[in-house]
Amino acid sequence: MHSEVPPFLTFEPLFKERLWGGRRLETVFGKKLPPGEQIGESWEIVDRPEAQSIVRQGPWRGRTLHELWCEHRAAIFGDDVPDSPRFPILAKILDAQDKLSLQVHPSAAVAPQFGGEPKTEMWYFAAANDGAEIFAGLRSGVTGDHFGRAIRQNEAADLVHRIAVKTGDAFFVPSGRLHAIGGGSLIIEIQQNSDTTFRLSDWGRAAPDGSPRTLHIDEGLRCISFDDFEPEVALPDGETLVQCSQFAVEKWNLEIPRRASERRSFALFVCVNGAVEMDGTRLDTGQFFLVPAVAAASELQPVAPATSVLRITLPSR
């Protein structure tokens, strides 16, 4: 193993207050939240100009993800990762106590028109209350003209497809897919490194100062895939939950130790049930950790019953 590179890396989370957030990141995942705030998002892995993951422990404590990507790319991430200026994945945990806005993210073809970035994402429901649901795509037969008129009159809710979800479900949100998360779910979100979102409706909710929430109806209507009718939850293909050109997400149910990777490439993990041990350190539910390429042969050791992890990787070049 490369003498300088730790066998795994963990990062300091960045907490984001949201109108729809709550405190379950603390009660369920043990995160140390700021007192009194409604925390809706924990940005666990991020390399953006305005937000940066920082190594939280070990000999590389204090280094940023961007430093690792720029200065130690081969050792940490491997030789076959994309040649992008920043780490291509943004990983979050969402505490949706109330429903989120009805929104859309632009595709690579459309994003430059707005000075934005394309965004495809997936959701894993780490916990979902009885009756939890999401809104995604359009009901069969809804046209762009019909939806456009309805959204401007604040009457579009019945035109959006609704899907019941439960703990352990996964859902794919390609760019262009109209969507909103309903209340009552704790979600692990894996997405392209982008923060471009166009909000079409916030269900009449006001901002904290009482003013109407900002909407982006014109931009959003130009981004929606109007042939996207009634999608459903992702059907796993073996261990693979979602695989696309931006990332792959697997779910491993660990009963015995298992190597992080079979090739010389990094793997990003989050423990979704139980706990694992890496190099003598216990990593509990809700903890993200990155296994560097030079440590790909390291093993994840389950140390609690029914341990499972999500494994996030990038497609080979």
Domain assignment present for 7:
no
Instruction: Answer for the pair 120, 126: CB distance below 8 angstroms, yes or no.
Output: no
- The Cα–Cα gap between 115 and 298 comes to 41
pTM exceeds cut of 0.75: yes
Q: Are residues 51 and 102 in the same domain?
A: yes
Position 1 scores a pLDDT of 43
pLDDT digits (tens, 9 = 90+) for 202-247: 998 988 888 888 999 999 999 999 999 999 999 999 999 999 999 9
User: Both 254 and 176 in a single domain?
Assistant: no
Q: What is the per-residue pLDDT across 138-191, written as a single tens digit (0 to 9) for each?
A: 999 999 999 999 999 999 999 999 999 999 999 999 999 999 999 999 999 999
Tens digits of residue pLDDT in 282-309: 999 999 999 999 999 999 999 999 999 9
Residues with Cβ within 8 Å of 145's Cβ and at least 6 positions away in sequence, in order, are: none
Question: What does the alpha-carbon distance between residue 6 and residue 54 come to, in Å, rounded to a whole number?
Answer: 14
Q: Of how many residues is the chain composed?
A: 317
Say how far apart CA 85 and CA 63 lie, in whole Å: 17
Distance of CA 195 to the CA centre of its chain: 12
At residue 138, the pLDDT reads: 98
Of 191, 223, 255, the last residue of a domain is 223
d(CA 131, CA 26): 23
200 lies in the same domain as 144: yes
Q: How many CB atoms lie within 10 A of CB 143?
A: 11
Report the pLDDT value the prediction gives residue 208, as an integer from 0 to 100: 82
Tell me, what's the pLDDT at 3? 47
Task: State how far the Cα of 66 lies from the Cα of 54, in Å rounded to an integer.
Answer: 9
- Asked if 65 and 85 count as a contact pair (C-beta separation under 8 A), the reply is no
Residues 114 and 156 in one domain: yes
Query: Which residue in the block uniquely carries the two structure tokens 């790319």?
Result: 73
Whether 271 maps to a domain, the answer reads yes
Residue 2's pLDDT is what? 43
8 domain residue, yes or no: no
30 with 74, same domain? yes
3-state secondary structure of 144: helix
The Cα–Cα gap between 130 and 132 comes to: 6
Tell whether 253 is covered by a domain.
yes
What the block records as the tokens of 102 is 């009805």
Rounded-to-integer distance, Cα 288 and Cα 92, Å: 10
Q: Note down the domain range covering 244.
A: 240-313
Residue 68 and residue 198 in one domain: yes
Q: Is residue 6 part of a domain?
A: no
Assign 3-state DSSP to the chain and report helix, strand, coil percentages, each to 5. 15, 40, 50
> 149: Cβ–Cβ under 8 A, 6 or more apart, which residues?
none
Euclidean distance between CA atoms 226 and 273, whole angstroms: 37
pLDDT, average across residues 59-88: 95
**pLDDT 10s digits, 248-270:** 999 999 999 999 998 899 999 99
- Residues 158 and 254: their CA atoms lie apart, in Å, by 42
Identify whether residues 191 and 267 lie together within a single domain.
no
Mean pLDDT, all residues of the chain: 96
Which pLDDT band holds residue 4 (cuts at 50, 70, 90)? confident
Number of separate domains in the chain: 2
- Do 111 and 38 touch, CB atoms closer than 8 A? no
Rounded percentage of the chain residues whose pLDDT exceeds 70: 99
8-state DSSP, 246? S
In a domain, 229, yes or no: no
pLDDT confidence of residue 188: 98
Structure confidence at residue 210 (pLDDT): 86
| Residues designated as active site | 199
* H/E segment holding residue 190: strand 185-192
